Amino acid sequence: MDFVRIGDKLISREKLFRAVDRILTLRSAGLSQQEAANQLGVDRTFVSRLEALGEVRKGGRVAIIGFPLENKLELEQVCQKYGIDYVLLMTDQERWQFVESVNGLALMNQLMEIIASLHEFEVVVMIGSDMRIRLAEAIFGDAVIGVQLGESPIKKDVYYSPDDLEELILSIKGGS
């Protein structure tokens, strides 16, 4: 165990980290700050301050989807760096593998699941052809921010600048 001495107190880092993990687990499971505080025997304000200390972003959840992308892995790293909540990026080959890997009914069900899950986000960035962006706007309305890679149909992978994606993410998050 890792201990820290503060005056006459001996503090266990492990015990402290377990308590923080427990609070965050309870909160992410849907308990209120008061309910989580009651379970751990702490004040509600402690839970609130703990969340404020660890807060990365306040506000809406962000999803980024796009295809066909030449530099998919590089763009995924940018998304990971900024804690994007949902990322679905594909190369042209991956796009076709996705479509051809299942029968029509299974494909329809997978697409419906993706659409349903994207409705949970306040911002949906659609990186793709003009037609795909229009479809996303028809489904998700004002939540969509379109990044046009070209006119439909796009038949090969397209490079999208990671710097441009980073700039877009920062503008969505308010420059944080």
pLDDT digits (tens, 9 = 90+) for 44-78: 999 999 888 876 445 578 999 999 999 999 999 99
Among residues 48, 134, 152, 54, the alpha carbon closest in space to that of 95 is found at 152
Give the three-state DSSP class for 11.
strand
Average pLDDT taken over every residue of the chain? 92
| Residue range 134-147: mean pLDDT, rounded | 94
Q: What pLDDT, on the 0 to 100 scale, is given for residue 74?
A: 98
| Residue range 118-138: mean pLDDT, rounded | 95
Among residues 143, 147, 142, the alpha carbon closest in space to that of 89 is found at 147
Indicate whether 100 pLDDT > 70. yes
d(CA 116, CA 127): 19
